[in-house]
Amino acid sequence: MRKQYCVAMTIAGLDPDGGAGIVADIKTFTALGVYATVALTGIAVQNTYEPGRVYEVPAIAVEEQIDFVARDMGIDAAKTGMLYSSEIVEVVAKCAKRYGFKLVIDPVIKGKVGINLLKPQGLKILIEGLIPLATIVTPNIREAELITGIKINDIKDMERAAKYIVDVLGAKAAVIKGGHAPFKEAIDILYIDGEFKEFKAPRIINGCWHGAGCSFSAAATAFLALGKGIVESIKLAKKFTMHAARYGFKGLGRGACPISPESWIEMDAERYKVLDNIRKAIELLESSGELLAPLIPEVQMNLVMALPKRYVHDLNDVAGVLGRIIKYGNKVKAVGPPTFGASKHLARAVLKAMEYNSQIRSAINIKYDPKIIEIAKSLGLKISSYDRRKEPPHVKRIEGASIPWGIEEAIRRLKGQVPDIVYHLGDWGKEPMINVFGISALDVARKVIEIAKEYSKILKEPS
């Protein structure tokens, strides 16, 4: 039977900007559902572009941290990052023998901005005393060269180095990370049980690789702690790291931006929040059905909400109501559940609005009536419009380009501000329409209900 809790430990240094080191490791363990423990080896003072100095933790304190956790909770798998001194490497080797946990060695030697993370004597002891105890060693090309003395120029050299780490130095498996190599794809070479395996992945070009090595070895450790085999752990760790890099904190810090191990769970959490928000907005709209029914256009109504901007790539990252919201007697009803990818038109409108204001993530469409525009004005809503008849032919020819073009026109008229309301008066075969924008589905639902209340008063007036 699987244990209720799996415990992983990172034996590594603190990188104060949070991109690499134990912070990346703890985030990774946590994102993968493994309980995170730490033996701190030192502080590597730095940020994303400036190196500072390393403050070392005494080796005895590293040993005690490992001992205290191991005898209390047990350690299923541990990884090493910055070990710095030969004394620390020695106590880690001693503890690995004492407790027999699975061990991933990320043999970091130089940090991202040039800090020395391992002294030369430490490297010697790492090669002789620690690598023989490793389940997996995860060097990059430069580290593999320093460990094996093999100059690496191509895949064959990567294979030779991986084989050397296993066959000569005594690790169970070695994976050489080709992320820095001049190949089109990022290729990693694994050597285990006399065989090579290649792991390929397209390069992530957003520059967010700060912490990628730490996160990769931590993810492999987490999967080992969960009881997965070595090959499977490396395959999954690669997938995890690609995700963390793809959704990294682009633009944060002056140097290489940090990866986001938390994106692995945060993205699912955000998807849930979007669906839940639309669900609540639908409840609100349906409960005001009689007020709303007169606002439903011929093409029916939809309500969409996008994921936060850093998770948005295409229409599938915007949720809408499957089958739309329809007039149902004198009430309104959502035909299906909130679903990602369920809307095209309105989703395109939101994606365009988000380019100008990332906070505006939701929209709904309602019937056009000049009286509704008057009401919106009286409620203090910001309004803009566009003329579909002025859509340039080259835009018309591109499937799906009309709405983004129109929304952009309307935003331009407001000098780049995203309004609450964008309307157009239609064209041949195109119904006039109003789009209401807001920060969430609930926000736009509330705006529409305010409008509907005023509209119902007007409809009751004798004309």
111-119, 187-195, 243-251, 277-285 -> range binding ligand PXL (CB under 6 A) = 111-119
The minimum distance between CB 46 and ligand PXL, in angstroms, equals 6
81 binds ligand PXL (CB under 6 A): yes
- Closest to 343 measured CA to CA, from 394, 274, 280: 274
Q: Residue 199, Cβ neighbours under 10 Å: how many?
A: 19
Residue nearest to ligand PXL (CB): 111
13 sits near ligand PXL (criterion: CB under 6 A): yes
Coil vs helix vs strand at 40: strand
Rounded to whole angstroms, how far apart are CA atoms 11 and 34?
15
Residue nearer to ligand PXL on the CB measure, 256 or 307: 256
DSSP 306-358: EPPGGG--SGGGEEEETT-EEEETTEEEE-S-EEET--SHHHHHHHHHHHH-T
Q: Which is nearer to ligand PXL, 83 or 375 (CB)?
A: 83
What's the CA gap between 288 and 450, in Å, rounded? 11
Contacts of 79 by beta carbon, 8 Å cutoff, 6+ apart: 8, 9, 10, 11, 12, 25, 103, 104, 105, 106, 217, 218, 220, 221
Question: Which of 13, 294 has the CB closer to ligand PXL?
Answer: 13
The residue from 7, 8, 9, 20 that contacts ligand PXL (CB under 6 A) is: 20
Among 111, 248, 320, 419, binds ligand PXL (CB under 6 A): 111
Distance separating the N- and C-terminal Cα atoms of the chain = 75
Q: Which of residues 82-101 bind ligand PXL (CB under 6 A)?
A: 82
Question: Would you give the binding string for ligand PXL spanning residues 209-248, x where CB under 6 A is met?
Answer: ----xx----------------------------------
- Which of helix, strand or coil describes residue 197? strand
Q: Which of 384, 369, 388 shows the shortest CA–CA distance to 427?
A: 388
In the complex with ligand PXL, which residue's Cβ is closer, 212 or 363?
212
DSSP 8-state secondary structure symbol assigned to residue 127: I
CB of 234 to ligand PXL, least distance (A): 18
CA distance 333 to 341: 20
How far is 377 from 420, CA to CA, in rounded Å? 10
- The rounded distance, in Å, linking the Cα atoms of 44 and 54 is 4
Least separation in angstroms between CB 30 and ligand PXL: 18
327 binds ligand PXL (CB under 6 A): no
Residue 23 or 166: which CB sits closer to ligand PXL?
Answer: 23
Q: How many whole angstroms separate alpha carbon 343 and alpha carbon 349?
A: 10
Stretch that binds ligand PXL, among 108-116, 241-249, 276-284, 356-364 (CB under 6 A): 108-116
Q: What are the start-end ranges of the E strands in 335-416?
A: 338-340, 362-367, 383-386
Query: What are the beta bridge partners of residue 173?
Result: 136, 192
Instruction: Indicate the residue among 105 and 321 with the shorter CB distance to ligand PXL.
Output: 105
C-beta of 214 vs 245, nearer to ligand PXL: 214
The reply to whether 261 sits near ligand PXL by the rule CB under 6 A is: no
Rounded to a whole number of angstroms, the minimum distance from the CB of residue 44 to ligand PXL is 4
DSSP lists the bridge partners of residue 430 as 427
- Residue of the chain from 7, 9, 10, 15 that contacts ligand PXL (CB under 6 A): 15
Q: Is residue 57 at the binding interface for ligand PXL, with CB under 6 A as the rule?
A: no
Strand, helix or coil at 25? helix
For the CB of residue 36, give the shortest distance to ligand PXL in the complex, in Å: 15
Q: How far is the CB of 411 from ligand PXL (least distance, A)?
A: 41
Residues that bind ligand PXL (CB under 6 A): 12-13, 15, 20-21, 44, 81-82, 108, 111-112, 117, 213-214
